[in-house]
């Protein structure tokens, strides 16, 4: 059973083919031109009440992920400029320009590319992943204050000036991202790290529609995130304000930014417990045996249920268990993933959370000889993947749809959908070799292939 399931919504599919047969299939696959999202705006996400948005802003702005409290509010004061250093991958320039347009339009930030020869407020440098993780092993990418480039960071990385927790003003920051990963992963790093350079330094698992959440279900800045950044750069706030001063200014700011939010006090989302975060993070730890990751995820599920969370935290705990347990407890794994889909759908509707959880059941239905079920599941998930601009997820859904169409005899339609899936896979997965392998693995899920 486990061979019939997708290991992760944006990861290769476990294939029943032998290595030799798979390599032969891979070699025969032709690829179209890569697709990208070309500056399209993502779908607006639901906004919380004014009271919840206020609490979110304070928690994001006055704490680090470690729980360390920040003494004062900081942001860039005045126009912000951005520069790309060295030889960055080709997609960086276009994805960065799209992001800067959104930051100006949606967050109201005065931000632009630095003029040639001028020092930039934020610099971006791409380096091999291995070099980045040699110093910061758990980070795909990261941002550092008060440094200009990689060499500058190496000389200052133990200095007090590079500690976000002691920062009293923001004048310079450097974003370091991997040069040898997929265009989507590079773009996702641009969104998350530039947003952190500009504003919140914390991540909160309770946030259902945000990149300021370590669950990685959202890959680009959402309309919620843009609202947080618009609040950060509101004229009523300034660097050096303490938490009480910011809290006093927030009601007027929130009322302007979140016009549809309820002004009355409602029941605020509870904080995520340290025990739950430890269990969940252990379930996601690379290199840990699947049995131990599944055990940690099961603990996270128990803690989420005990806390009566029926939100993204319970759904993500279930999804994490399902992904970890596919090879060791396949029946429990698929049951957890299906439950995650129901939790996400009940809480948020047909949003990207649900789309992530739909992939594995759709793949299993295909292998089980139920292509109509695969089509129904995939077609419900495609709009969220498209609007959320997740090319890896979108390509996997399209490739599953193509195989289901082929299985039902709609061969020409399947061919067109498969080509579209390949085009998005080039952006989502990167190398042509990896894309070809992914296409072959999804095709191998059809019965008798």
Q: Which CATH class is domain 2-37+271-443?
A: mainly alpha
* 169-181 pLDDT per residue, tens: 999 999 999 999 9
What number is the average pLDDT over the span 283-294?
94
| Structural domain boundaries in the chain | 2-37+271-443, 50-257
Radius of gyration of the chain (CA): 22
Predicted confidence (pLDDT) at residue 202 exceeds the cutoff of 90: yes
Q: For residues 144 and 174, is the Cβ–Cβ distance under 8 A?
A: yes
Average pLDDT, the chain: 92
Give pLDDT tens digits for 65-102. Answer: 988 999 999 999 999 999 999 999 999 999 999 999 99
Give the single-character DSSP code of 63.
B
DSSP string, 239-299: TT--HHHHHHHHHHHHHHH-TTS--S--PPPPPPPHHHHHHHHHHT-TTS-HHHHHHHHHH
What whole-number percentage of the chain has pLDDT above 90?
Answer: 85
Give strand pairing partners of 113. Answer: 82
40-54 tens-digit pLDDT: 888 899 999 999 999
Residue 40: per-residue pLDDT: 80
Cα(336)–Cα(227) distance, integer angstroms: 33
According to CATH, what is the number of the domain 50-257? 3.40.390.10
Predicted confidence (pLDDT) per residue in 360-384, tens digit: 999 999 999 999 999 999 999 999 9
Residue 1 confidence (pLDDT) = 35
Could you give the C-alpha distances from 399 to 3, 94, 183, 260, in angstroms and in order? 17, 26, 19, 39
pTM, entire model:
0.92
Q: What is the pLDDT of residues 179-188, one digit of tens each?
A: 999 999 999 9
Q: According to the model, what pLDDT value does residue 17 have? A: 53
Return all residues near 232 (Cβ < 8 A) that are at least 6 apart.
Answer: 61, 75, 107, 198, 199, 200
Under a CB-based contact definition with an 8 Å cutoff, are residues 13 and 445 in contact?
A: yes
Average pLDDT score over residue span 124-144: 93
Same fold, 2-37+271-443 and 50-257: no
Question: Is 176 exposed, middle or buried, given 0-12, 13-18 or 19+ CB atoms closer than 10 A?
Answer: buried
**Res. 138 pLDDT band, cuts 50 70 90:** confident
- Mean local confidence (pLDDT), 216-244: 97
Closest CA to 351 of 376, 375, 323, 386: 386
Closest CA to 400 of 3, 5, 2, 1: 5
Q: How far is CA 15 from CA 120, 156, 158, in A?
A: 47, 47, 46
Cβ-contact 300, 309 below 8 angstroms: no
First to last CA, the chain: 16
Rounded-to-integer distance, Cα 143 and Cα 197, Å: 7
**Residue 12: pLDDT band with limits 50, 70, 90:** very low
Which of the four pLDDT bands, split at 50, 70 and 90, describes residue 388? Answer: very high
Let me know if 347 is exposed, middle or buried by CB neighbors in 10 A (0-12, 13-18, 19+). Answer: middle
Residue 91: per-residue pLDDT: 95
Coil, helix or strand at residue 84:
strand
Q: Measure the CA angle with vertex 62, ends 59 and 67; round to 5°.
A: 75
**What pLDDT band is residue 25 in, cutting at 50, 70 and 90?**
low
Bin 17: left if φ > 0, else alpha if -120 < ψ < 50, else beta: beta
Q: How many Å separate Cα 272 from the centre of its chain? A: 19
| Helix (H) or strand (E) segment spanning residue 213 | none
């Amino acid at each position: 059973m486990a061979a019939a399931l997708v290991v992760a919504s944006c990861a290769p599919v476990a294939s029943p083919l032998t290595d030799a047969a798979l390599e032969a299939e891979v070699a025969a696959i032709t690829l179209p031109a890569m697709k990208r999202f070309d500056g399209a705006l993502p779908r607006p996400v639901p906004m919380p009440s004014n009271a919840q948005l206020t609490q979110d802003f304070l928690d994001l702005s006055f704490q680090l992920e470690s729980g360390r409290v920040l003494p004062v509010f900081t942001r860039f004061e005045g126009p912000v400029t951005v520069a790309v250093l060295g030889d960055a991958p080709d997609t960086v320039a276009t994805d960065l320009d799209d992001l800067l347009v959104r930051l100006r339009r949606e967050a109201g930030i005065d931000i632009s590319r630095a003029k040639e020869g001028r020092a930039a407020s934020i610099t971006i440098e791409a380096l091999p992943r291995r070099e980045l993780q040699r110093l910061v092993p758990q980070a795909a990418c990261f941002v550092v204050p008060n440094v200009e480039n990689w060499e500058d960071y190496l000389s200052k990385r133990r200095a007090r000036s590079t500690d976000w927790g002691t920062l009293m003003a923001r004048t310079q920051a450097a974003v370091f991202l991997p040069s040898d990963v997929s265009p989507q992963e590079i773009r996702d790093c641009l969104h998350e790290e530039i947003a952190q350079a500009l504003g919140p330094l914390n991540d909160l698992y309770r946030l259902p529609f945000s990149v300021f959440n370590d669950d990685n279900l959202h890959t680009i800045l959402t309309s919620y995130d843009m609202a947080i950044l618009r609040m950060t750069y509101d004229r009523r706030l300034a660097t050096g304000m303490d938490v009480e001063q910011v809290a006093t200014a927030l009601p007027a700011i929130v009322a302007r930014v979140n016009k549809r939010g309820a002004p009355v006090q409602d029941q605020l989302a509870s904080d995520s417990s340290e025990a739950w975060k430890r269990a969940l993070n252990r379930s996601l730890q690379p290199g840990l045996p699947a049995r131990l990751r599944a055990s940690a995820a099961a603990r996270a599920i128990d803690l989420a249920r005990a806390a009566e969370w029926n939100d993204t935290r319970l759904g993500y705990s279930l999804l994490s268990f399902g992904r970890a347990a596919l090879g060791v407890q396949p029946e429990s794994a698929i049951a957890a993933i299906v439950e995650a889909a129901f939790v996400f759908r009940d809480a948020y509707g047909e949003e990207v959370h649900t789309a992530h959880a739909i992939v594995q059941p759709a793949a299993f239905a295909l292998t089980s000889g139920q292509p109509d079920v695969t089509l129904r599941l995939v077609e419900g998930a495609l709009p969220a993947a498209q609007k959320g601009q997740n090319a890896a997820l979108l390509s996997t859904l399209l490739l599953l749809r193509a195989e289901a169409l082929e299985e039902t005899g709609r061969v020409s339609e399947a061919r067109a959908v498969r080509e579209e899936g390949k085009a998005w896979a080039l952006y989502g997965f990167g190398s042509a070799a990896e894309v070809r392998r992914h296409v072959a693995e999804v095709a191998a899920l059809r019965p008798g292939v």
